[in-house]
Amino acid sequence: DIAYILEALPVDQRLTVWNLVESDLDGQILLDVSDAVRETLISSMDKSELLSATGQLDTDEIADLAPDLPDDVMQALLQTLNDQNRQRLQSVLAYEEDSVAALMDFGMVTIRADTTLGVVLRYLRQRGELPEHTDKLFVVDENNVLKGVLSLKRLVTNIPEQYVGAVMARELVSFRLDDDAEDAARAFERYDLLSAPVVDGDNRLQGRLGIDAIVDLI
């Protein structure tokens, strides 16, 4: 709602309102406003304000803002990330904006095929929260190679003693990092997808493509 209001205001009033917004909302608002408005807002912020705003975001969200951030802010941001998230961000930024890699996120739950459904359920309860739009769990081996997916429907409708490998789906829709984003959007429509795994050339799981990113693209 704040993003919508900012977009509707003339530039001088927009910046006045922007300075009144609570700082813990800055990052999400920058993601939600249009490209032109985002550029105006970012140009009015100093380095410390930008680091504070973007430091609250997930790695894939930082990647969305990266083209609009000053180089010194991006370098400082990279230093604040752990090794895994730094590698993820650099990997995403290496791909074109119209690729699946640019749209994917890292909010995914992975499990092993030799685990029982009861153990998976206990793990999810201990985890306490699932990434948004989670409709399936991704089954990988010890090398992070994608082997299948387990829908939440199958998880809760089969007996807890059953193994993941026995009920998971092996025929699935997945995408490569360099696949065209619009092709992926058409596949989401064709197969009524809410989420889908993204893999590299060796079929190792790299991320997840969610319906929210597809809707934004459309």
pLDDT at 56: 83
Tens of pLDDT, residue by residue over 48-77, are: 999 999 988 888 889 888 889 999 999 998
Q: Is the distance from CB of 138 to CB of 117 less than 8 angstroms? A: no
Strand-pair partners of 110: 138
Element at 14 (helix H, strand E)? helix 11-18
Pairing of strands 146-151, 175-176: unpaired
If you average pLDDT over residues 21-26, what whole number do you get? 86
Q: How far apart are CA 81 and CA 54, in angstroms?
A: 11
Q: How far apart are CA 71 and CA 132, in angstroms?
A: 31
What share of the chain in percent tops pLDDT 70? 100
Alpha-carbon radius of gyration of the chain = 20
Which amino acid appears at position 26 of this protein? Answer: D
Q: Is the distance from CB of 187 to CB of 174 less than 8 angstroms? A: no
Global model pTM greater than 0.85: no
pLDDT at 14: 95
Give CA torsion, residues 93, 99, 105, 108, to 10 deg.
Answer: -130
**Residue/partner pairs of 147-152 with CB below 8 Å, 24 or more apart:** 147/113, 148/113, 148/172, 149/197, 150/111, 150/120
